[in-house]
Structure 1
């Protein structure tokens, strides 16, 4: 298993919310979870079916249980079975009553046919910066894979920590975490830049919006290109 997926052991998952969502998001990446990322996650949730990719502890979907009340299906996709079971259980405990599907899958590989055209919304929060390779390489592959999962009026959206480029200025804590995580293979974002992300999205979608909060890019993409 890739180091970026292997790090999410059941023990580490217990620490994830504190270390990443409370401390790192506020102090290192300067993109607060409660005031920025959670509202952004809620903003584009679909009403029929939602696909969450790279599920972590299931924090965002669990925090969205009320917003997902009318959503018939939530599908969780990840390379790590521990994160899938954790996120699924957490969403159910938060009160979600629809169906929950768990898909153990590598996002670089084509999706199963039964997922094509199924979802109103696809979220990928803090996935891209964990994947190996440059944004120029991994971005188009991931967006091509996930774009086919959308309904014609659907939206793909998410957040990723950038490594460099105009507007990306890491503070002392961020630089040290970036160096450590990239060295261990937990992150693969040392060369990820905003323009490369935007270009990768525009290569696959007709309508793209990207903004920077701290060193985190928040993106939305609609109308997948065909061919």
Structure 2
């Protein structure tokens, strides 16, 4: 548990970095004006999932909540394993959400589903090994993964969400906002060229401090 003074200092630092990564993200989005097939397929994946989901849930009784809950709990598990925690039990339902029992807990594990688009990064794994002509199809899937993350995160974030309340809602939201900018920024950078990822990160970390 972080002490209040430390939380305050970290929140200020994170807020400064949010400014930096917002600017860096904007610089990447400007490159989207030079439309290419990879950008088009990536954006199509995002829009396809969002339109599909809104249409299905608007005009039928079907719901995507099981998919949301499954990705949510799977992300908890992924970061639990990264943090060397043992996973004892996984429960996923459509109506009542899900839960994961792990031996230990920390801020990263608790908040990971709200900032890390796990499915998008999973389908991104083959990307470096694909021939040029096939990369756009992988980016279509990555876009769908981003769409899943965006909608599930919007639906899951609210002031009574236990994961967010435990570390303080305001502190958690500042942290989640920053991490979303970083990870989504990386994903949005890939269609314009993986060589821009390093520039995106450097600009995000350094641009706010250049003012001083």
TM-score, normalised on structure 2?
0.26
Q: Which has the higher helix share?
A: 2
Q: Which has the higher strand share?
A: 1
